[in-house]
Amino acid sequence: MDIPTIKAWPREKRGTRASRRLRGRGLVPAVLYGRGEPNLLLSVQEKAISHIVAEHAMVLQLEWDGHQTPTQLKEVQFDSLGEEILHADFHRISLTETVRVAVPIETHGEPVGVAQEGGMLAIVQHEVEVECLPTSIPESIRVEVAGLSIGDNVRLGALDLPDGVAAVGDPDLVVISVTPPTEVPEEEELAPAEELMAEPEVIGREEEEKIEEDLARREGKADAEKP
């Protein structure tokens, strides 16, 4: 896969107010760490991080002030609604050393068990963790499901992976299965629509400040290494 490059800018100020000012300008506070080098406080464009997350491109080149280094996007902190990005963590990597990343599953075809037997296709694992070189990360893992009948499944160890890419985890882990049709008892009544609607949880200012204070304390440990 091609490794994307995103721009970053060094930052000095920390804390809740500084973070809010950054987000007001479309930027996200971030930290770069790892490989025995000091932590570096940065800011990156929110839309760039959103695009990286949407494309599952967790390995990228980070560029700032004439410097460039390959990194892995280790963690993205969202608000409680999962909409606004509050913080991002980048880990320095080497393009010649393997990394572990989550890759999405992509199904192809319609199972016999669905088309002819009335079953349902269940994607149990929407993504799986793989280990490979950063330059060999597949965009997705394609799984042919046309031959699956009711009761059939595809396990982690049976995935067809590109050369140099290895699945991480229990080989017997079920990734995809075809299940029998679900029957709803006639006497069962559906709950009124208003009972199914839940009020969205809105992050409060106090909760947001606690999150940002925790991030600021973590950034303050310049020599800390994450596992």
Q: Distance of CA 114 to CAs 154, 179, 180, Å?
A: 15, 9, 9
Question: Closest Cα partner for 87 from 108, 73, 69?
Answer: 73
Domain 5-93 has CATH 2.40.240.10: yes
Question: Closest Cα partner for 51 from 119, 96, 18, 4?
Answer: 4
Reduced to 3 states, what is the DSSP secondary structure of residue 108? strand
Reduced to 3 states, what is the DSSP secondary structure of residue 206? helix
pLDDT for residue 192: 59
pLDDT for residue 163: 94
Residue intervals of the chain classified under CATH 2.40.240.10 are: 5-93
pLDDT for residue 56: 77
pLDDT for residue 222: 44
The runs of H, that is alpha helices, within 89-226 are 112-115, 193-196, 205-219
Domain 100-179 has CATH 3.40.50.150: no
Angle at CA of residue 20, ends 16 and 26, nearest 5°? 150
pLDDT for residue 30: 92
Reduced to 3 states, what is the DSSP secondary structure of residue 59? strand
Find out whether 27 and 49 touch, Cβ atoms under 8 Å. no
pLDDT per residue of the chain (227 residues) written in tens, 0 to 9: 678 899 999 987 777 777 888 888 889 999 999 998 999 999 999 999 898 888 877 889 999 998 999 999 999 999 888 888 889 999 999 999 999 999 999 999 999 999 999 999 999 999 999 999 998 999 899 999 999 999 999 999 999 999 999 999 999 999 999 999 876 556 555 555 555 555 555 555 666 666 667 666 666 654 455 44
Reduced to 3 states, what is the DSSP secondary structure of residue 61? strand
158 vs 156: CA distance, rounded Å: 5
Task: Write out the E strands in the chain.
Answer: 5-10, 27-34, 37-45, 59-64, 67-78, 85-92, 99-108, 120-123, 127-132, 141-144, 153-155, 166-167, 174-179
Find out whether 40 and 31 touch, Cβ atoms under 8 Å. yes
Q: CB under 8 Å to 192, separation ≥6 — which residues?
A: none
Residue intervals of the chain classified under CATH 2.170.120.20 are: 100-179
The answer to whether the pTM exceeds 0.85 is no
